[in-house]
Amino acid sequence: MTRIARHLARGNPLDLAGFALFGLLCLTAAFGPLLVAHDPLATDAAAMLQPPSARHWFGTDQIGRDILARVVVAARLDLLIAAGAVGLSMVAGSIMGAFIGYRGGWADVVVSRLVDVMMAFPLFVLAMALVAALGNSVANVVYATAIVNLPFYIRLARAEVRLRRDLGYVEAARVGGAGDGRILMRHLVPNIAAPLVIQGSVNLGWAVLNAAGLSFLGLGVRPPAAEWGIMVAEGVRFIASGQWWIATFPGLALMLAVLAFNLLGDALRDLLDPRLRT
């Protein structure tokens, strides 16, 4: 932690901004629902479509719900979906990619061609098809987002392991009697963790966008749950009539989340890449 703080103090200020925004998002997701003054699901017919004010800082929506409360509460759901999807795809994709990169042969050829086929499709369209096939639920949004993220980790892990599988420390472990599984799990996978973590931090932003986009189209989280994509979808039809705040504030929250994860990815690259550290 001391090294990280020292690097941020003298390094790129955008790295510090990335960690700060990421910390703010995590704090909002963890403690925000406990701090909001209004129930995010409570309706109030007398307060419908009110603009931002001292009572409702972000205004109210078409059925009188407080938008600030809904934006804050939605952070937990959106970040949990993104973290769950990226975690699943990172673990599964890293193991698959490391295995085929180490062993090569027919498994490498088959999995690589399957990854090429997946990458040939627009990933968001593929996620839409998977959710439509699996069913409209939060769990299926996580699974669909994890599946379409798999190619990133398979390709990255495969390439990194192929670069390292014949290095001296791997040969030493092999001569020492270590089996393939031990070499992969004890020597190769830990040494490719840095690029995988960087890729994961960037994919978190895409996963948030993916979840919000599916909800916007009616394929993700279902109303009346507080979720940024649903809120933007509900607010779009009111923009022409002047109620801009309904879609604007959840859209800004979504933008800040994606920006935070992209800046975090850059900061982690600066911290973990030895070429940049020197």
Q: pLDDT tens-digit profile of 166-195?
A: 777 777 877 777 777 788 888 888 888 888
Is a pLDDT exceeding 60 seen at residue 5? no
Average pLDDT, the chain: 85
User: What's the pLDDT band for 202 if we cut at 50, 70, 90?
Assistant: confident
Give phi and psi for 66, each to the nearest 5.
-75, 120
User: What's the pLDDT band for 256 if we cut at 50, 70, 90?
Assistant: very high
pTM across the whole model: 0.86
The pLDDT assigned to 249 comes to: 93
CATH number of 2-277: 1.10.3720.10
CA distances from 253 to 100, 119, 275 (A): 39, 29, 34
**Is 146 strand, coil or helix?**
helix
**Is 189 strand, coil or helix?**
coil
Tokens of residue 58, six digits: 């972000």
* 66 DSSP β-pair partners: 60
Q: What is the pLDDT of residues 16-52, one digit of tens each?
A: 888 888 989 999 989 988 888 888 888 888 888 888 9
The pLDDT assigned to 11 comes to: 63
Residue whose token pair is 């299926």: 140
* 55-59 long-range contacts, CB within 8 A, separation 24+: 58/245, 58/249, 59/243, 59/245, 59/246, 59/249
Q: Which amino acid is at 253?
A: A
Q: CB neighbours of 40 closer than 8 A, spacing ≥ 6?
A: 33, 65, 66, 69, 70, 72, 73, 74, 226
**CA–CA dist 92, 147 (Å, integer):** 9
